[in-house]
Amino acid sequence: MKTISILVAVVMSLLTPMDVNATSYPVTVKSCNRTVLFTHPPARAVSQDVNLTEMMVALGLQSYMVGYSGVTGWNKPSPGLMAALKGLPELATYYPTVETLLNANADFYFAGWNYGMKVGGDVTPQTLEPLGIQVYELTESCSLLAPGTAASLEQVYIDLANLGKIFGVDDRAQSLIAQLRKRQHEVVHNVAGKKRPRVFVYDSGEDRAFTAGRLAIPQALIDTAGGQNVMNSVNASWTQVGWESVVEADPQVIIVVDYGERSAAEKVRFLLTNPALQSVAAIRDKRFVVLPYSAMTPGVQNLDAIEALADALEEWR
């Protein structure tokens, strides 16, 4: 699987010492149900969660950042990402408070609903705006404000384009988006007309499985890779399902999301030894694809996940 460090190297190779802000300010961007005005690029930005932080790094925005948050608490960030963040502090292991952001003198917070912000919580665009901290919300997370919206790769491209506008690096953003689209189209072309193996996403859970319904980003990743999400009839994003529904769907492949206190190996071992699952094809054949959290949430590693899954499914068609 390609890593974020490779992607960063590709993007940064496009930059020259003369690379400067090309954006004419002021600019406005759509952020969920808000329109946000920027009169100049943020100078003390904070990103929340590993996938959002990877977007910032992939656009070479570290010099605009004062820190990041929520990367090491339950994730396993790649060595490449941590090297790219060298010199920047992690302001909070999990979630920053308003005080955390104020103490860092932040002027911008890149976060999302359930990615550092909760509806009705203390840290929201509405609570931070009076304090001089502008917020851009991860587009995928806007579904919490407008239920029923399915996550997509287009949302990732929208976020990258908007970050390009906000920080005045449109050319970098458009170049990165073009690279990601090219990889997407290549996979779609390669899997066209082939059988679509049944895929189940296992995030966590023992009594019930925490998995991805049709509104979560893994639905789009599995579709693009040439598989079919066995929970595509569940009209939800990330949600819990009973093991009986997994048995009934009989997935041929199981994606294991690698993050949290339990290792991927421990999760696989639990699935293999779960008495309720012994009739499932993926369990009998030990067909697992382990993918990191940062690849299974909206961000620049989504194409890594698609390519890895497409390669794996090719072996099982």
Q: Do domains 4-181 and 198-316 have the same CATH topology?
A: yes
Nearest to 188 by CA among 218, 226, 227, 150: 226
Q: List the domain boundaries for the chain.
A: 4-181, 198-316
- Quote the pLDDT of residue 5: 42
- Quote the pLDDT of residue 21: 52
Is the CATH code 3.10.450.50 the one for domain 4-181?
no
Whether omega before 42 lies within 30 degrees of 0, making that bond cis, reads no
- Quote the pLDDT of residue 299: 97
For the domain made up of 198-316, give the CATH fold: Rossmann fold (3.40.50)
User: Count of CB atoms within 10 A of residue 48's CB?
Assistant: 25
Nearest to 136 by CA among 103, 173, 161: 161
Quote the pTM value: 0.92
- Quote the pLDDT of residue 146: 85
- Quote the pLDDT of residue 75: 73
- Quote the pLDDT of residue 7: 47
Q: How far is CA 40 from CA 25, 47, 62, 75, 148, in A?
A: 6, 18, 17, 32, 34
- Quote the pLDDT of residue 22: 58
Flag residues of the chain having pLDDT under 50: 1-20
- Quote the pLDDT of residue 15: 46
